[in-house]
A and B are shown apart, each in its own frame.
Chain A
Amino acid sequence: MKLFFKDHMSLFMLQIVQMITIVSLLLLAGFRDWHLLLYSFLLFSFFLGFYLTYYYVTRRQFFKQLTMRMEEHDDVIRQMDHTPISRQLGETLTRQYSLYKQEIASLQKDKEDHFIFIDRWIHQMKTPLSVLELMAQDLDEPQSSHFREEIDRLKTGLHMVLYMARLRTIESDFHIKKVDVAEVLHEVKRDNKRLFIQHRMFPNVYIQESTFVETDEKWLYFILTQLIQNAVKYTDGRSDQMDVRIKEEAERTTISVQDYGVGIPSHDLKRIFDPFYTGDNGRKFRESTGVGLYLVKEVCSYLGHDIQVESEVDRGTTFTLIVPN
Chain B
Amino acid sequence: MQKILIVEDDERLAHYLSSHVEKYGYRVKKVADFSKVLDTFIAYEPHLVLLDINLPMYDGFYWCRQIRQRSTCPVIFISARTGEMDQIMALENGGDDFLTKPFSPDIVLAKVRSHLRRAYGEYAAIVTERVVEQAGLKLYVERLELHYGSNEVALTKNEATIMELLLERYPRITGRTDLLEKLWDDETFVDENTLNVNIARVRKKLVELGVADGIETVRGVGYRLQLP
A197 B177 Cβ-Cβ under 8 A: yes
Is there an interface contact between A189 and B102, defined as CB atoms closer than 8 Å?
no
The answer for the CA separation of A159 and B192 in the assembled complex, in Å, is 30
Which residues of chain B are within 8 angstroms of A145 by Cβ–Cβ distance? Answer: 175, 177-178, 221
Instruction: Decide: A134 and B180 in contact? CB cutoff 8 A.
Output: no
Cβ-based interface call for B118 (8 A):
no
B80-A131 in contact (CB<8A): no
- Min CB distance B185 to A, Å, is 10
Which B residues from 47 to 100 make CB contacts under 8 A with A? 80-81, 84, 100
> How far is B79's CA from A122's CA once the two chains are assembled, in angstroms?
12
Which of A129, A139, A151 has the most chain B CB atoms closer than 10 A to its own CB?
A: A129
Chain A, Cβ-Cβ closest to B104: A133
Assign chain B's interface to a size class. 20 to 34
Among B16, B102, B181, B220, max chain A CB count under 10 A is at: B102
- Given A131-B10, A134-B20; A194-B101 close (CB under 8 Å): no
Main secondary structure of the interface of A (DSSP, over half): helix
CB of B181 within 8 A of CB of A134, answer no
The answer to whether B102 touches A130 (Cβ under 8 A) is yes
- Asked whether, in the complex, the Cβ of B175 is within 8 Å of the Cβ of A127, the reply is no
A245 proximal to B (CB < 8 A):
no
Contact across chains for A129 and B101 when beta carbons are under 8 A apart: yes
List 6 tightest A-B contacts by C-beta distance, closest first. Answer: A134-B16, A141-B173, A129-B102, A126-B101, A126-B80, A123-B80
Minimum distance in angstroms from B107 CB to a CB of chain A: 10
Identify which of residues 173-232 in chain A touch chain B, using a CB-to-CB cut-off of 8 Å. Answer: 175, 186, 189-190, 193-194, 196-198, 200, 202-203
Are B177's CB and A133's CB within 8 A?
Answer: no
Q: Is the CB of A134 within 8 A of B80?
A: no
Q: Is A124 an interface residue (CB 8 A)?
A: yes
Q: Are A134 and B105 in contact (CB under 8 A)?
A: yes
Specify which chain B residues have a CB less than 8 angstroms from the CB of A124 in the assembled complex: 80
For B221, list chain A residues within 8 Å (CB).
141-142, 145
Neighbouring B residues of A202 by C-beta, 8 Å: 189, 191
Q: How far is the CA of A142 from the CA of B175 in the complex (A)?
A: 7
Write out the residue numbers on chain B whose beta carbons fall within 8 Å of the beta carbon of A155: 102
Give chain A residues whose Cβ lies under 8 Å from the Cβ of B104: 133
Q: Is the CB of A194 within 8 A of B175?
A: no
